[in-house]
Amino acid sequence: MSRRPDATASGAGERHGRPWRVAGTVLVALLALVGAGLIGAALNAPEPTSAPQPSAGAAPNYLDRAATGSDLGTSPSPTPAPEGGTSGTPAPTPVLARSEPIKIMIPKIGVDATIMPVGLTPDGMVQVPPLAKAELAGWYQSGPTPGEAGNSVIVGHVDSKEIGPAVFFQLGALLPGDAIEVIRKDGSLVTFVVDGVKSYPKAAFPTELVYGPTDEPGLRLVTCGGDFDERVGSYPDNVIAFARLAG
C-alpha cells in the first residue's frame, strides 16, 4: 500500500523553494509535487512571462466540497474506498493492469513530454525532475499508474531559470472536457478527460482530492501557481488539474 504525501510541503526547485516534504508517518509524498507546494523556479528574465491561472469557472463544484488536509500539516486519515457493484451502488469503471507511464500529451496546451518516475530522497524529501530538465514530467511511482484504480499523480515544473517556461507552464489554461493522453510502458494509450482545474494556496493543499482512495481511475496533474514571490523565492499556490478516465 502506498504512503501519502504531506499536505503542506513546500515548493521544489533551487531558486524558489525547498523540495517537498513528507509528513507525519511519512506517508508517501508524491509529487514533490505535491503535497502542497510544488514545483517551479523563477525565470531569469527581468519581467518573466506569467503562466495562465485557472478561470473561476474551470473547476466543478465537487472540488469545493472536499476537506483539505492542511489544518495540522499532515495527511488526513485514509477512508475506505467504495466497494462498488453492491446493491444500489454503481459498479466501478473497468481498470487496467499496472504499467508505468512513459509519455504525456495534452493537445490543448501543446504538451508532449517524457515522464520519469519520482519517489523520495533518503531524508524524506520528494524528488522532482531536475530543473535543467524541466521539460520532463514526474510520475509519483508509489501511487497508481494511469488507468489503475485510484488517482495517479504526475507533477511538473511551471518554469525554470535554466529553460524558461517548463512542461506544465500552460496547465492553468485547461478547461473541463479537454483531453489528456498517457502512453504506458505496455504500449497502451490511456485517455483522460479534464473535470476541472483549480488553484489552491500551498497551505491548503487538497490532500484527499489528490491522494484520497477511490475505485475509479483518476489523474491529477500538479504544478506551481500564482505570482512568483521574489522575497521568499517561491510560488504561493499549486495549480491542479483533475481528470477521469475517458469512457
Taking CA atoms, 183 is separated from 104, 171, 189, in Å, by 6, 19, 4
- Cα 240 from Cα 211, distance rounded (Å): 12
- Give residue-wise pLDDT tens across range 87-123: 455 556 778 999 999 999 999 999 999 999 998 768 6
The one-letter amino acid code at 36 reads A
pLDDT band at 166 (very low <50, low <70, confident <90, very high): very high
Q: Spell out a b/e string for 48-64, using b for 16 or more CB atoms within 10 Å of the CB, else e.
A: eeebbbbeeebbeeebe
Query: What number is the average pLDDT over the span 146-157?
Result: 95
Cβ(12)–Cβ(36) below 8 Å: no
Cβ(92)–Cβ(84) below 8 Å: yes
Domain boundaries, the chain: 1-43+57-75+97-247
Fold of 1-43+57-75+97-247: Sortase; Chain: A; (2.40.260)
Radius of gyration of the chain (CA): 17
- Cα 35 from Cα 32, distance rounded (Å): 7
More confident residue, 62 or 51: 51
Percent of the chain with pLDDT over 70: 65
Strands, E, within the chain: which ranges? 101-106, 111-118, 137-140, 150-155, 159-160, 164-165, 179-184, 189-201, 217-225, 237-245
Cβ(70)–Cβ(8) below 8 Å: yes
Per the structure block, which three cell numbers stand in for 171? Answer: 496547465
pLDDT band at 127 (very low <50, low <70, confident <90, very high): confident
CA nearest to 16, candidates 226, 170, 247: 226
- Cα 15 from Cα 67, distance rounded (Å): 31
Which pLDDT does position 7 carry in this prediction? 35
Taking CA atoms, 116 is separated from 15, 139, 156, 181, 237, in Å, by 22, 6, 10, 16, 23
The one-letter amino acid code at 153 reads V
Report the DSSP beta bridge partners of residue 120: 126
Which pLDDT does position 177 carry in this prediction? 95
Which pLDDT does position 67 carry in this prediction? 41
Which pLDDT does position 174 carry in this prediction? 97
- Give residue-wise pLDDT tens across range 6-42: 433 334 333 333 333 333 323 333 333 344 335 454 4
Residues in the chain: 247
DSSP-derived secondary structure letter, 17: -
CA nearest to 245, candidates 109, 152, 114: 152
Centroid of chain to Cα 45: 26
